[in-house]
């Protein structure tokens, strides 16, 4: 499965609400700010797990080019032009066919995140890229149900918490990871990974979150760079990445880390 609604509960209601539609348009502006130059250059681009299609349609207007969307759950697709019903783990796309793909808060909704990143790698041309926005399992406030610490809990306890809150019946179809395992999956798929979380916060914090977050981030700026990066990896509710498929495939050498990577 590529994208699953958790249940017909608070989350299911959210994705059909006017609030969600406004959020999608705002998210499109964020994506455009962070990777608009990549979308402008791309000959063929796609939005994987495109959801309602609102983000895709906004970005089409900005680029003046078609942007195809792939979504398995067509029940809540609103903008159907250039939307394809497909599992993002098995895309109906030839190898090396795309220049850029979007994966906006997608990995937590698939059954196998490793398969998602491998499939994105397969359909991208050498030198092609991807934009990834990814939520953290350690986010204090779970974003779908707006309950603190929900994603920290084992699944049976999380489902019980949902029922007690009255916001749902079962915490299913959402599988957050922590930073290290997520980055490792992207690298193992073959991508070079650029973490642009600090840039995204610098660029977007003031206009999206406002005070007191801008003040807190300013104080974090006084920390040594390495300390600040480690803090973001652990404490940020979401991360932003740009991925690139190398001109030649980069492979991990067992036990090697960055020093043990080679070209195949």
Q: pLDDT, tens digit, for every residue of 75-93? A: 888 889 999 999 999 999 9
Q: What's the confidence (pLDDT) of residue 235? A: 80
Higher pLDDT, residue 259 or 28: 28
The structural architecture, per CATH, of the domain 10-136+173-204+238-246 is 3-Layer(aba) Sandwich (3.40)
Q: What's the confidence (pLDDT) of residue 104? A: 95
Residue spans of the domains in the chain: they are 10-136+173-204+238-246
131-164: pLDDT as tens digits:
999 999 999 999 999 999 999 999 999 999 999 9
Q: What's the confidence (pLDDT) of residue 141? A: 92
146: left (phi over 0), alpha (psi -120 to 50) or beta: left
Q: How large a percentage of the chain has pLDDT more than 90?
A: 60
Neighbours of 212 (CB within 10 A): 8
Strands (E), the chain: 45-48, 67-71, 83-85, 98-104, 124-135, 141-142, 147-148, 192-195, 238-244, 250-252, 261-263
Residues 6 or more apart whose CB falls under 8 angstroms from that of 130 comprise: 100, 101, 102, 103, 120, 124, 191, 242, 243, 244
Name the pTM for this structure.
0.83
* Cα distance between the two ends of the chain: 31
Residue pair 194/241 in contact (Cβ under 8 Å)? The answer is yes
Q: What's the confidence (pLDDT) of residue 194? A: 97
Confidence label for 2 from pLDDT (cuts 50, 70 and 90) = very low
Q: What's the confidence (pLDDT) of residue 202? A: 77
- How far is the C-alpha of 239 from the C-alpha of 159, rounded, in Å? 25
Q: What is the mean pLDDT of the chain?
A: 85
Residue pair 107/134 in contact (Cβ under 8 Å)? The answer is yes
């Amino acid at each position: 499965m590529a994208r699953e609604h958790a249940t017909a509960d608070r989350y299911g209601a959210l994705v059909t609400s006017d609030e969600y539609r406004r959020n999608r348009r705002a998210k499109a502006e964020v994506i455009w700010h962070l990777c608009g130059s990549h979308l402008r250059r791309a000959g063929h681009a796609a939005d994987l797990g495109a959801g309602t299609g609102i983000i895709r349609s906004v970005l089409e207007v900005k680029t003046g080019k078609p942007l195809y969307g792939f979504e398995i759950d067509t029940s809540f697709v609103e903008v159907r032009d250039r939307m394809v019903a497909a599992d993002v783990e098995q895309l109906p796309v030839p190898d090396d066919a795309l220049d850029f793909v979007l994966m906006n808060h997608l990995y937590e909704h698939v059954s196998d995140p490793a398969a998602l990143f491998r499939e994105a790698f397969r359909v991208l041309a050498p030198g092609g890229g991807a934009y990834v926005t990814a939520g953290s399992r350690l986010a204090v406030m779970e974003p779908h149900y707006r309950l603190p610490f929900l994603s920290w809990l084992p699944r049976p306890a999380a489902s019980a918490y949902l029922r007690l809150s009255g916001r749902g019946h079962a915490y299913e179809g959402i599988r957050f990871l922590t930073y290290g395992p997520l980055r490792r999956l992207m690298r193992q798929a073959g991508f070079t990974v650029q973490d642009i979380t600090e840039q995204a916060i610098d660029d977007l914090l003031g206009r999206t979150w406002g005070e007191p977050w801008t003040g807190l981030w300013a104080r974090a700026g006084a920390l040594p760079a390495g300390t600040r990066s480690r803090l973001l990896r652990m404490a940020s509710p979401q991360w932003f990445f740009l991925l690139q498929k190398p001109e030649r495939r980069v492979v991990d050498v067992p036990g090697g880390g960055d020093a043990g990577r080679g070209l195949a």
